[in-house]
Amino acid sequence: MLPDRIQQPRRARSRYATIIIGGGYTGLAAARRIAELRPNDDILVIEASTIGEGSAGRNSGFVIDLPHNTKMGGHTSPLEVARKQIRMYDDGKKWLERLVREHHIECGWNPAGKYHAAAGDKGVASLRAVLDQYKEWGIAFTEFDREGLNDKLGTPYYRYGFHSLNNVFVQPAALIRGLADSLPANVTVLEGEPVFALEESTPFVVRTVNGEYTSDRVIIANNGFAKQLGVLRDRLFTIFTYAAVTPRLSDTELAKLGDSKEWGVIPANRLGTTLRRIQDGRLMVRSAYSYEREQAPEKTRELLTDCYKRRYPQMNSHEFEFMWGGTTALTRNGASFFGELRPGLFASVGCNGAGVLKGSVFGKLLGEMVMGVDSDALTDVLGFEGPTWLPPDPIRKVAVTSAIRYQAAVAGPER
């Protein structure tokens, strides 16, 4: 059960100094930073759904402060790109934690770290390659064999893995709602108001289902849905991912899940299965991908149940209480778009599945960029490679769905 929201009544007007499309981590971070820098400006955030019920609240709740893609530095070495990202994400995590503490956001903030685990030969080789990077980056870790992982996770399914402290667990819907409800007073948030048109003349006109709003500055931060506004259509594609949680388990059943009250497992293959034991006594299972549209619920339930049973055959039941899907925007080369599309129109989209911390960091920096505030971190982000071109459908659909099938086959026991 999520805590009640404490919302301040804020009336919408027709003109704003800055309009932000998208009320996820990126959009809210940009709004907060601009509001801090320009306390006399009126800022509008427009969110198509209810805060916490969209993709920002449907992820697995891992706040990982390590690089996800180090091959996007142009002429800069991957090691230097990694070091830049580590500095950036460390600062971002500290900023997020400060907001959680200052505003008393009840999101279960827990710096418990994360496990990476592999069941097959290819997965083990992949994890050993990851550890080679960790050594180069100076990241501490602890390795585990099958017996050690069984003690920690309650399953002999995995042959090899490691644990690092570079992760914080949160309840993502509670976090995003708390960030929205604690915004400065000069920010207005409109929820349940999809944007269906953006007129790209100055001043910009943003049309929603309920009205229209004008501004000289617009930030697009709605990730894959930016395509619906005609933005970066040849750079982004959207996939659905799926997860389910069990009912609250009995003490007897929880004792079968290892010796910690909360842990999470990142798979050795990108299409593998993510697990999380949640503080309130549930087990979460995340796996499966589909291109641009949701797959049938019965197919999703069958797949997730199989992932659960293979890892924990000893459980009395493999039933789920809740199941859901969510969208994320990917790019061909794993890079995000960050910057100015044209004078007065800015965007940060294409999180590539790393939205909580990366989105917060990029949103904060984009807000500073819009307000003309320079920093080393902003220079670093602007120096990263942007997303590469994608062919149009139906070629794109064939390529992406083929890649999903191929990666699923390669994942093997990691699924």
Q: What is the pLDDT of residues 389-399, one digit of tens each?
A: 999 999 999 99
Q: How far apart are CA 148 and CA 161, in angstroms?
A: 9
Q: Is residue 118 left, alpha or beta, with left meaning phi > 0 and alpha meaning psi from -120 to 50?
A: beta
SS3 content of the chain, % helix, strand, coil (to 5): 35, 25, 40
- Segment 348-366 shows an average pLDDT of 93
Q: What is the pLDDT confidence band of residue 142, given thresholds at 50, 70 and 90?
A: very high
pLDDT of 62: 97
Residues 6+ apart with CB under 8 A from 138: none
What CATH number does domain 114-164+238-330+401-414 carry, 3.30.9.10, 3.40.50.2300, 3.40.190.10, 3.30.70.1290?
A: 3.30.9.10
* Cβ-based neighbour number of residue 15 at 10 Å: 12
Given a contact cutoff of 8 angstroms between Cβ atoms, the answer to whether 410 and 258 are in contact is no
Phi/psi at 123 (5° precision) = -65, -40
Nearest to 301 by CA among 315, 326, 318: 318
Domain boundaries, the chain: 18-95+172-236+334-384, 114-164+238-330+401-414
What's the pLDDT tens digit per position in 156-213?
A: 999 999 999 999 999 999 999 999 999 999 999 999 999 999 997 889 999 999 999 9
Nearest to 351 by CA among 326, 374, 373, 369: 326
Query: Which of 36-40, 166-170, 269-273 shows the lowest per-residue confidence on average (mean pLDDT)?
Result: 269-273
pLDDT of 270: 86
pLDDT of 159: 98
Q: How many CA atoms lie within 13 A of 44 on its CB side?
A: 26
pLDDT of 392: 93
pLDDT of 29: 98
Q: How far apart are CA 93 and CA 90, in angstroms?
A: 5
pLDDT at 1 over 90: no
Q: How far apart are CA 32 and CA 9, in angstroms?
A: 17
Burial 294-325 (b: 16+ CB within 10 A, else e): eeeeeebeebbbebbeebbeebeebebeeeeb
Q: 347 is written with which tokens?
A: 């965007």
Given a contact cutoff of 8 angstroms between Cβ atoms, the answer to whether 56 and 198 are in contact is no
pLDDT of 164: 98
**What is 116-177 written as a DSSP string?**
EEE-SHHHHHHHHHHHHHHHHHT---EEEEHHHHHHHHS-S--SEEEEES-EEE--HHHHHH
What CATH number does domain 18-95+172-236+334-384 carry, 1.20.1560.10, 3.90.1720.10, 3.50.50.60, 3.20.20.70?
A: 3.50.50.60
pLDDT at 2 over 90: no
pLDDT of 69: 81
Q: Name the pTM for this structure.
A: 0.96
Q: How many CA atoms lie within 13 A of 33 on its CB side?
A: 25
